Structure 1
Amino acid sequence: MNERLLFVLTFASALGSGLIAGLFFAFSAFVMTALGRIPPHQGMAAMQSINVTILNSLFSFVFIGTALASAALAIVSYFRWGEAGTIYLLAGSLLYLLVFLVTVAFNVPLNDTLAAAKPGSAAGADIWARYLVRWTAWNHVRTAASIAALASFIIALRLRG
């Protein structure tokens, strides 16, 4: 891979990680708390709407595009081991891929369970209460990992500079 393409992929991965980190941070810092403070059927309905809307937005492009770029950078890191910044390039890539895997393995199945529940029902209220705790805990993991990925990509860019 030529240096220009490597720079572009690393820069794009840093931007994508930063955008995702900001989004996940907002959910961890205040969105989920706010949704948990309103009546359960309203919070649940709002989150169901967010989950549908987010899939049809620029989020999907950034989220998946950053995962693809990170996977490519992880592979490139293997072949450029020993070069300046490669350890940070690999770390950023693996951290962002962790974000992707946590999302697929934990947050998406929780979203699917929530989507099938009926707001206002007793079962829905129970699902919502468990969802708030579990989804938010996994979102904290995604937030920390995406911030760490961003920092790693920035350091890689600086060292490769």
Structure 2
Amino acid sequence: MDLATGGGPWDAVGVLSAAAAVSSGLVAGIFFAFSVFVMRALGAVPPESGVAAMRSINRVIITPLFIAVFLGAGALGVALAVLGPWPHAVAAALYVVGVFGVTGARNVPWNNELDALTPGTAEAAAYWAGYLRRWTAWNHVRTVASTGATVLYVIT
């Protein structure tokens, strides 16, 4: 059997699909945790503590492993959009738009604005309340998009 085109679970598309499902699923899990309990926990502490903790999270999450999984899921999706069945193209679009697009347009700019503030100041406390609400709302979008992509990779 030709591994590139054999049609089985061990052909190139099958292996790429498995890798895309795992990587997008890992990303979905991270986003899910933030949506379900991390942001709620940060919102339950005094603003100066929440701001300081989120700033720290935003710095320490940027590791080679996280970047490889986060970017890798998108790259695998793009490859599968070309090589795989049509649901893979939908999965790739969900991931690229719903994860990359939202992250770049919403969550990262707000993280950068938060990082520019000094925890414990009135300005940081005022920003924090709105940040929690809008950052979490858009994180829900990222959670749904990455979970949807995972499901499409698994079922096709």
Equivalent of residue 41 in structure 1, options 37, 48, 58:
48
Tell whether 2:146 aligns with 1:146. Answer: yes
Q: C-alpha distance in 1, partners of 2:147/2:117? A: 32
User: Which residue of structure 2 aligns with residue 119 of structure 1?
Assistant: 119
Is the partner of 1:141 in helix, strand or coil? helix
Which of 50, 61, 72 in structure 2 is aligned with 1:65? Answer: 72
Contact 2:80/2:89 (8 A) holds in 1? yes
Report the CA distance between 1:60 and its aligned residue: 1.1
- Report the Cα distance in structure 2 between the residues aligned to 1:38 and 1:57, rounded to whole angstroms: 30
Q: Deviations over 1:47-78 (max 9, x none)?
A: 0000000012521110011111111212334x
Runs of 4 or more off by more than 6 Å in structure 1?
Answer: none
Residue 142 of structure 1, CA deviation:
0.3
CA distance in 2, matches of 1:57, 1:2: 29
Root mean square deviation of aligned Cα = 1.4
User: 1:122: Cα distance to partner?
Assistant: 0.5
Which position in structure 1 is the counterpart of 2:21?
14
Q: What TM-score, normalized to structure 1?
A: 0.87
CA contact 2:78–2:89 (8 Å) conserved in 1: no
Equivalent residue for 1:89?
A: 88
**In the aligned structure 1, how far is the partner of 2:78 from the partner of 2:100?**
11
C-alpha distance in 2 between matches for 1:114 and 1:127: 8
Separation in 2, partners of 1:56, 1:116: 21
2:4 corresponds to which letter in structure 1?
N
Q: Matched residues, percent identical?
A: 49
SS at match of 1:38: coil
Q: What TM-score comes out, normalization by structure 2 length?
A: 0.90
Unaligned runs of 5+ in 1: 78-85, 157-161
AA paired with 2:74? A
Aligned partner (choices 34, 49, 52) of residue 59 of structure 2: 52
Q: Specify which structure has the higher proportion of helix.
A: 1
Partner of 1:132: 132
- Structure 1 stretch 36-45 or stretch 55-64: which is displaced more? 55-64
Number of aligned positions between the proteins: 148
